[in-house]
Structure 1
Amino acid sequence: MTSLAERAAAAAGRAPEAGQDDLRLPQEYVDQFPTPDPMAGYEPGDDDPEMVPVHLAWLRVRKEIRGIAKSQKYDGGGTKFNFRGVDMVVNAFGPVTLKHGVHVFPVAVAATHRDTTSSQNKKMRECTVTVSWLVMGPMGDHLPLLQSCGEALDSADKGTAKAQSVALRVLLLTGGLTPTDDKDPDVSYIERGNDAPARPAESYRDEILNPKTSQGRLQQIGYELSNLRMMNAKVVNEVGEQETLDSLGRRIYGERAGGAA
C-alpha cells in the first residue's frame, strides 16, 4: 500500500524523498493547487463597504469618529470625575467600523489575577490583561498585531471580562487617536487684576501675637507672607516698636518653641 507522500509524488511525476513525512505534501504538488483568492469574482453589493486597504478603511473610521467627550460622571466614595465608558466608546466605533468594513478581533489574552480588598475591606479579585488585537479591513488584509492592557476589580467572576472591555476601550481610543473635545486650558487666558485687596499687615501682626496661634500656623503665615512679598512689611509690635513681619514671626515662633521645650 502506497503512502500519501508516495501518491502525491507519483501525481507530481517524481519519486518521494527518503524519510519524508507521510502527512506533508511535496511543494510541487501544493503549487498545482494554489489557495483560491477569497475576493476573486467578488462584486460589492449596495450596502457593502468600499474595497480599500485596511489602513485607508481605518483612516475613514477615524475621520468620522472625530472625538468622544468625557460626558459620563462618576460620583462615589468622595471621588468625582468625568470619563468615557466602554459602552460609549463601542457605541461610537461600532456602527462606523461596520460601515467601512473594519473588524476588530481579540486573538490572544494574557491575564494575571490576585486577591485583594476594597477600601471597605470587601474581598475582591483583581485582573490585569494584555490583549492582542487583529484589526482587519474589508479586503481581508490587516494591520500589524496591536496590543492593549486593561485592569479591573470584581467581587465575583466578572473581573476578566471587565478587564478585557477596558483593554478594548484603550485600543479604540489610542488607536483612533480619539480626542475628548474638551476645551484646552491654554485656549483662554485671564490676567489677574490688582483690585483684590491684600490682607493688611496689621491683621497678620495680630494673628502672630495671638497666644492661640499654633506653631504650625506661624510657619504657614511665613509661607503666605513670602508669596505675598510682605516679609519686610513693618508693623508696630507688642512693645510699641517698628518691626518687620518676618522678624516678628520668627521671634514669636522661637519664643513659643522655647516655652514648649
Structure 2
Amino acid sequence: MSTIQERAAAAAGRTTADLSKDDTAALPEEFAEQLPAADPMADYEPGDDDPEMVPVHLAWIRVRREIRAIGKGSEYNERGTRYNYRAADTVVQYFGPVTIKHGVNVIPFKTETTYGSKQTKSGSTMRECSVVVTWHIIGPKGDVIVSQTAGEALDTSDKSTTKAQTVALRNLLLNGGLIPTNDRDPDADRIERGIEAPARSAESYRDEILDPKTSQGRLQQIGYELGNLRMLNRQVQNETGEMESLDSLGRRVYAERSGGAQ
C-alpha cells in the first residue's frame, strides 16, 4: 500500500527518491482524499482460466448473450390451482456457470425485511415476509452495478425470510437479465366470439421444422414452444417416411443447418 506522500509524488510525476530530497513534496493528511486512489487491479495478470478483465456492464452483457431464454419448466398443482413457472433453482443453474465464466459475482449487499401473519383455511398461522434486497453485481475488474428487487413468501415455520430472499434473487436474474420464457404471446392468436382458436398440430410443427426457409433462431424457438406444450416426444413421420419425435427432428435439422453435431 503506497503512502500519501508516495501517491502525491506519483501524481506530480516525481519518484519516491525525490521525497527524501525535497520535503515540500509531502501533502498534509487533509488533502489525502484529493489524490487518485490506487487501482487494486493495476498489477494483476490474468491466468489462463481467468475471465477477460472488462467493465462490469460488458461482462453482464456477455452473460445475457449466453442465456437466451428460460422456459417455465416447473409446475405447481396443489389445492385446485395449477400453473407453470420458472423455479429459482432452475434460474440459478442457468446463471451460475455463465457468471463464473465471465467473472461476475452477484452479492446481496443489504436486505430490508417486514413481517406479518396470515391465517390459513385450516386455522393455522403462517408467517409472511416481504424483503427488499440491494444487490451488487460485481464485474471481473471489481466495478459494481447496484440493483434492488423485492420478494414475498409465506411459511408455517422459520423459512419465510429465506424463501422471500430467493424470490428476490430470481427476480434480479430474470428482470436484470431480460430473460424471456419464449412462451407464445397470448395476443398472437385472434379468437373470434364463440370460436376457440385451434391448437397447432404436431404435423404443422414438423412441416415448419423441415421447411428450408425456417431459420436456426426459429428452430430454437420451436423447441421452447414444444417443451411448454409438452409435445417434444410427439411422434411424426419425417422426410424419409420414418417415425421420429419432434424433439429429435428439430435437433437433427438444427445440427445439419449449423454444420455441426448437436
Aligned to 1:96: 98
The 3 A distance-change label for structure 1 pair 189 and 39 is same
The whole-number CA distance in structure 2 between the counterparts of 1:141 and 1:39 is 11
Among 137, 140, 162, the alignment partner of 2:139 is 137
Counterparts of 1:69 and 1:30, CA distance in 2: 50
Q: 1:157-185: CA deviations, max 9, x gaps? A: 11111100100000110000010011223
TM-score between both structures, scaled by the size of structure 2: 0.60
Offset of 1:188 from its aligned partner?
A: 4.6
1:27 paired residue among 30, 34, 59:
30
- What is the CA distance between 1:67 and its match in structure 2? 0.6
Instruction: Name 1:50's counterpart in structure 2.
Output: 52
Cα 1:45–1:190, aligned 2, differ >3 Å: closer, same or farther? same
Query: Partner of 2:62 in structure 1?
Result: 60
CA distance in 2, matches of 1:88, 1:147: 21
Alignment partner for residue 86 of structure 1, among 72, 85, 88?
88
Q: Deviations over 1:206-243 (max 9, x none)?
A: xxxxxxxxxxxxxxxxxxxxxxxxxxxxxxxxxxxxxx
Classify 1:31/1:175 alpha carbon distance in 2 versus 1 (closer, same or farther; 3 Å): closer
Pick one of 108, 112, 119 that aligns with 1:110. 112
Go from structure 1 to structure 2 and tell me whether the alpha carbon gap of 1:187 and 1:39 turns closer, same or farther (over 3 Å shift).
Answer: same
| Secondary structure of the corresponding residue to residue 174 of structure 2 | helix
Q: Kindly tell me: are residues 193 and 131 of structure 1, through their superposed partners in 2, closer, same or farther at Cα, counting changes over 3 Å? A: closer
Q: Pairwise CA RMSD of aligned residues?
A: 2.6
- Give 5+ residue unaligned stretches, structure 2: 1-19, 196-262
Answer yes or no: is 1:183 the counterpart of 2:184: yes
CA distance in 2, matches of 1:192, 1:125: 45
Q: Structure 1 residues 29 and 127, CA, compared in 2 at 3 Å: closer, same or farther?
A: closer
Distance 1:30 1:58, change over 3 A: closer
Deviations 1:73-97 (A, max 9, x none): 0100000000001101111111111
Q: Does 1:167 align with 2:182?
A: no
Please report how far the alpha carbon of residue 135 of structure 1 lies from its aligned counterpart in structure 2 after TM superposition: 0.7
| Equivalent residue number for residue 153 of structure 1 | 154
Which residue is 1:71 aligned to? 73
Compute the displacement of 1:191 (Å).
6.8
Between the aligned partners of 1:147 and 1:187, the Cα distance in structure 2 is 32
Give the C-alpha shift of residue 133 in structure 1: 0.5
The one-letter amino acid paired with 1:87 is D
Distance 2:183 2:40 in 1: 44
Q: TM-score, normalised by structure 1?
A: 0.60
Distance 2:187 2:82 in 1: 23
Superposed displacement of residue 193, structure 1: 10
> In 2, distance between residues paired with 1:39 and 1:62?
25
Q: How far is the alpha carbon of 1:119 from its aligned partner?
A: 2.9
How far the C-alpha of 1:100 sits from its partner, in A, is 0.5
Query: Which consecutive residues of structure 1, in runs of 5 or more, have no partner in the other structure?
Result: 1-10, 15-24, 195-261
| 1:47 to 1:75, Cα distance in 2 relative to 1, 3 A | same
1:2-48 CA-to-partner distances (Å, cap 9, x unmatched) read xxxxxxxxx9969xxxxxxxxxx81356778x754221221111111
Inter-CA distance 149–31: structure 2 relative to 1 (3 Å threshold): closer
3-state SS in 2 of match to 1:185: coil
| Percentage of matched positions with identical amino acids | 54
In structure 2, relative to structure 1, the CA distance for the partners of 1:193 and 1:110 (3 Å cut) is closer
Match of 2:43 among 25, 41, 44: 41
Distance between the aligned counterparts of 1:119 and 1:152, measured in 2? Answer: 17
The total of aligned residue pairs comes to 172
Residue 61 of structure 1 aligns to which amino acid in structure 2? V
